[in-house]
Chain A
Amino acid sequence: MDYHEEKERLIREKKNWQEKVNKTLEKRPERKEFKLDSDLELKRVYDPLDMENFNYLEQLHWPGEYPYTRGIQPTMYRGRLWTMRQYAGFGSAEETNDRFRYLLEEGQTGLSVAFDLPTQIGYDSDHPLARGEVGKVGVAIDSLADMEILMDKIPLDQVSTSMTINAPAAVLLAMYMAVAEKQGIPMEKLNGTIQNDILKEYVARGTYIFPPRESMRLVVDIFDYAGKNIPNWNTISISGYHIREAGSTAIQEVAFTLSNAIAYVQAALDAGLEIDHFAPRLSFFFNAHSNFFEEVAKYRAARRIWARIMKERFGAQNPRSMMLRFHTQTAGSALTAQQPDVNIVRVAFQALSAVLGGTQSLHTNSRDEALALPTEHSVLLALRTQQVIGHEIGVTDTVDPLGGSYFVENMTDHIEEEVLKYIDRVDEIGGAVEAIENGFIQQEIQSSAYRYQKEVEEQKRIVVGVNSFKTSGEQPIDLLKMDPATSKRQVERLKEVRLSRDQGQVASALHDLRKAAQSDENLMPYILSAVKAYATLGEVCGALRDVLGEYQQEVKL
């Protein structure tokens, strides 16, 4: 039978089916309108007629082949599972070191460091603005002395370490390198990632220090320096995660992440870097939210779009430059404080979507995180969830098992199309930096966040335990308690460090850093010298603040 006959038959049969559907609808109307989180109205069912323009080699190809829709690797999880990487950090370096070693013993395969807010914003623990914040949402790192304790007895050549650090990324990377050097580990053996994605801080996460353009210079300095000195380090993790947490849709998450990525690539090219030199070390970070198939399609679409951008827009030739490698975290904003055990179920489904979408590493949230930092028991359950997905339920046995699904391929195409429209709009504004400075991206995210909240309040969106299926008389669960003495101990250690170091060496290193910041020299070597002399994070960032200035947020509601 030829193609046209086949198609006509399909259309005929579909018509018959449609008549039956109409009769069913008369008797039993559907429950509601069905929409994606990104507002697309869904068809009742997808079929071969929706695949008319589908071209396997163009849109999918095999795993490990351009445009990598089915995965960046030919064998994917049949070769090696994703890295199970739980984000952790609280209190002092000692406490966090304990938690890291516990997680490694329980089969976790990579580390992920959470820093407290003063560290993320470049203040020492005794700075007035650090009041109440020391060791709260992560570990406090004031100087190399803290980093030495944080990584104590952890073989840095055998783990990969991801650090969620942005504005002072260069400083924390320098500390990590200095510790590795002391452990006698050659730089090419270091594996890990710094988040170093400053642009999303202005729109979503809030831990900026310097103004956007000055910050871009630091990012590019790191690309350049790391490319030459720590070749296996991921120099950036371009993050949609926080954009989604701030309330964006799935489409906005991908669109603004890739717009930011384009800005970084362009800045590096403008500084004279070679595309295939730095692009293979770019990595990404996405959110796993609750709309299952939309999320799977999102990851697949993101890979395809990025491959094409790198090849067609930037002329990359190295396939590694075109491969979008990403970490995923399940959606913190989808966790509920009500009936927290139900979060275990949510997280499992979200994590499954990331695995079916081909993630390279994964953090699963713990059930109690809408209430406090997670207890050890909750974190263990979250890690076990990944292990069940990886080892028990068979979803890793074949690559991209949803590939070819009428629905998933249509969603993948739809997301791609909508993302490209957004990227065009950002390009028209003049790129991501401009679109942040003029507030476009912030306002797009804000209005999606507001719409989401309204939908929950109007019961258009069901959240189990929150606006439906509530339980009365819930029993409180045990939560992690922070040691109130941590902050005091941290400040004491900071004072000791300041007293015991060679002051002349610190002063001259900071002086040199200031001077370099005024020129266009790469700042990494200067930061490294300062850190090795036990200059504190606050001192290094202070020197840079003096020269680069500070960002002042403007909010349009």
Chain B
Amino acid sequence: MSEQPLRVLVGKIGLDGHDRGAKVIAQALRDAGMEVIYTGLRQTPEQIVETALQEDVQVIGLSILSGAHMQLLPPVLEMLREQESHDIMVIVGGIIPREDITYLKEQGVSEVFTPGSTTEDIIEFIRQKVKQNR
């Protein structure tokens, strides 16, 4: 019996235009059999949450390299809690300093993937984590 494929939103939050990583990840997740919704650039926290709910995703992957992560990521987690959708897993990729990672995890981010992470690591992480949550 085949399982439903995982649905993942990959998004660029804030004004940052560096989308090489986000596109590579989106493509790799798709090649790994997941259904990927890619938002494109310049998404606000509100738009991310709205799209995630509309598309009924299990995972939100947000890419940010501009340094605005401390202002833009917590609102996403907060809105998900307000919508009682905190079962949606949020993972983050980008240039995020160590001490900020600790804070973001406290806020509910499941994992932060910094430069040098492999698509393999990310795919594995998503699969394991979603399995645990079931």
- A363-418 residues at the B interface, CB under 8 angstroms: 370-373
Interface: B32 (CB within 8 A): no
The interface residues of chain A lying within 8 Å CB-to-CB of B114 are 337
Interface: A104 (CB within 8 A): no
Interface: B78 (CB within 8 A): no
Interface: B112 (CB within 8 A): no
The interface residues of chain A lying within 8 Å CB-to-CB of B40 are 553-555
Minimal Cβ-Cβ distance residue in A for B22? A555
Q: A-side binding surface: helix, strand, loop or mixed?
A: loop
The 5 A-B pairs at the shortest CB distance, nearest first, are namely: A206-B17, A132-B71, A132-B68, A117-B15, A136-B67
Judge whether A449 and B24 touch: CB under 8 Å: yes
Complex CA–CA separation, A215 to B16 (angstroms): 20
A337-B16 contact, Cβ under 8 Å, with A132-B71, A446-B23: no
Judge whether B67 and A555 touch: CB under 8 Å: no
For A245, give its contact among B20, B26, B70 (CB under 8 Å).
B20
Judge whether B95 and A338 touch: CB under 8 Å: no
Q: B-side binding surface: helix, strand, loop or mixed?
A: loop
The interface residues of chain B lying within 8 Å CB-to-CB of A201 are 17
Judge whether B17 and A555 touch: CB under 8 Å: no
Stretch with Cβ within 8 A of A (4 or more), from B52-60, B80-88, B115-123: B115-123
Q: Shortest Cβ distance from B71 into chain A, in angstroms? A: 3
Minimal Cβ-Cβ distance residue in B for A335? B115
The interface residues of chain B lying within 8 Å CB-to-CB of A335 are 115
Interface: B127 (CB within 8 A): no
- A538-557 residues at the B interface, CB under 8 angstroms: 553-555, 557
A sample of 21 cross-chain residue pairs with beta-carbon separation below 8 angstroms, ordered by A number, consists of: A117-B17, A128-B44, A129-B15, A136-B67, A136-B68, A201-B17, A206-B17, A206-B42, A207-B15, A207-B17, A245-B20, A247-B20, A371-B97, A372-B95, A450-B23, A450-B24, A457-B118, A553-B40, A554-B40, A555-B40, A557-B23
Complex CA–CA separation, A326 to B29 (angstroms): 38
Judge whether B14 and A555 touch: CB under 8 Å: no
The interface residues of chain A lying within 8 Å CB-to-CB of B36 are 557
Judge whether B71 and A131 touch: CB under 8 Å: yes
Q: Shortest Cβ distance from B51 into chain A, in angstroms? A: 14
Q: Shortest Cβ distance from B25 into chain A, in angstroms? A: 9
A137-B66 contact, Cβ under 8 Å, with A117-B15, A129-B15: yes
The interface residues of chain A lying within 8 Å CB-to-CB of B41 are 206, 553
Besides the contacts A132-B68, A132-B72, A449-B23, what 6 more A-B pairs have beta carbons closer than 8 Å?
Answer: A131-B71, A333-B20, A453-B24, A457-B118, A466-B116, A555-B23
Interface string of B1-23 (1 = CB under 8 A from A): 00000000000001111111001
Complex CA–CA separation, A131 to B28 (angstroms): 30
Judge whether A557 and B27 touch: CB under 8 Å: yes
Judge whether A206 and B115 touch: CB under 8 Å: no
Interface string of B31-55 (1 = CB under 8 A from A): 0000010101110100000000000
Interface: A429 (CB within 8 A): no
For A205, give its contact among B17, B68, B95, B118 (CB under 8 Å).
B17
The interface residues of chain A lying within 8 Å CB-to-CB of B16 are 117, 137, 206
Q: Shortest Cβ distance from A330 into chain B, in angstroms? A: 16
Number of interface residues of B (CB under 8 A): 35
Q: Shortest Cβ distance from B79 into chain A, in angstroms? A: 14
Q: Shortest Cβ distance from B120 into chain A, in angstroms? A: 6
Number of interface residues of A (CB under 8 A): 44
For B119, give its contact among A131, A133, A206, A453 (CB under 8 Å).
A453
Which A residues lie at the B interface, using CB under 8 A? 117-118, 120-121, 123, 128-133, 136-137, 201, 204-207, 245-247, 333, 335-338, 370-373, 446, 449-450, 453, 456-457, 466, 476, 479, 482, 553-555, 557
For A133, give its contact among B15, B116, B120 (CB under 8 Å).
B15
A133-B14 contact, Cβ under 8 Å, with A337-B115, A457-B120: yes
Complex CA–CA separation, A449 to B26 (angstroms): 12
Complex CA–CA separation, A137 to B95 (angstroms): 12
Complex CA–CA separation, A184 to B95 (angstroms): 43
Q: Shortest Cβ distance from A202 into chain B, in angstroms? A: 10
Interface: B98 (CB within 8 A): yes
Minimal Cβ-Cβ distance residue in B for A338? B116
The interface residues of chain B lying within 8 Å CB-to-CB of A482 are 67
For A118, give its contact among B15, B17, B38, B115 (CB under 8 Å).
B15
Complex CA–CA separation, A552 to B54 (angstroms): 21
Interface string of B85-122 (1 = CB under 8 A from A): 00000000001011000000000000000111011100
Q: Shortest Cβ distance from B101 into chain A, in angstroms? A: 12
The interface residues of chain B lying within 8 Å CB-to-CB of A117 are 14-17, 66
A137, A335, A466, A476 pick with most chain B CB within 10 angstroms: A137
Complex CA–CA separation, A121 to B15 (angstroms): 8
Judge whether A371 and B23 touch: CB under 8 Å: no
Complex CA–CA separation, A207 to B42 (angstroms): 10
Complex CA–CA separation, A16 to B8 (angstroms): 60
Q: Shortest Cβ distance from A390 into chain B, in angstroms? A: 30
The interface residues of chain A lying within 8 Å CB-to-CB of B44 are 128-129
For B66, give its contact among A133, A245, A553, A557 (CB under 8 Å).
A133
The interface residues of chain A lying within 8 Å CB-to-CB of B23 are 446, 449-450, 555, 557
Complex CA–CA separation, A471 to B68 (angstroms): 30
Judge whether A370 and B38 touch: CB under 8 Å: no
Complex CA–CA separation, A247 to B42 (angstroms): 20
The interface residues of chain A lying within 8 Å CB-to-CB of B67 are 132-133, 136-137, 372-373, 482
Q: Shortest Cβ distance from B37 into chain A, in angstroms? A: 10
Judge whether B72 and A131 touch: CB under 8 Å: yes
Minimal Cβ-Cβ distance residue in B for A123? B15
Complex CA–CA separation, A118 to B40 (angstroms): 18
Complex CA–CA separation, A123 to B72 (angstroms): 17
Q: Shortest Cβ distance from B32 into chain A, in angstroms? A: 12
For A479, give its contact among B15, B28, B97, B116 (CB under 8 Å).
B97
The interface residues of chain A lying within 8 Å CB-to-CB of B98 are 476
Q: Shortest Cβ distance from B29 into chain A, in angstroms? A: 10
Complex CA–CA separation, A132 to B17 (angstroms): 15
Complex CA–CA separation, A407 to B28 (angstroms): 36
The interface residues of chain B lying within 8 Å CB-to-CB of A554 are 40
